[in-house]
Amino acid sequence: MQNKKRFPIKLTLAWEIFFALLIKGALLFLLWWAFFSHAPDKQSISNSVAERLSGTGQDFSLTSRRNSHD
């Protein structure tokens, strides 16, 4: 009689673990897709670095360089 009561508990625990792992995997995939899957190509990276080093790139600094010490 005790075995019949324990079996559904083990089965539901297995399903809970399965769904928790499934949801965790889906969330990890979504995080990867949102932040890491759209990496820029090497040519665009090298162009932006070359523009930045040559001084032709845009300056995206948050503070103004002219009036920073006033």
**Three-state SS across 8-60?**
HHHHHHHHHHHHHHHHHHHHHHHHHHHHCCCCCCHHHHHHHHHHHHHCCCCCC
Q: pLDDT tens for residues 16-45?
A: 999 999 999 999 999 999 888 877 788 888
State the pLDDT at residue 6.
61
State the pLDDT at residue 14.
87
State the pLDDT at residue 18.
95
Please give the residue that has the higher pLDDT: either 26 or 63.
26
Residue whose structure tokens are 């006033």: 70
Please give the residue that has the higher pLDDT: either 59 or 22.
22
Cβ proximity of 15 and 9 under 8 Å: no
Q: How far apart are CA 16 and CA 25, in angstroms?
A: 14
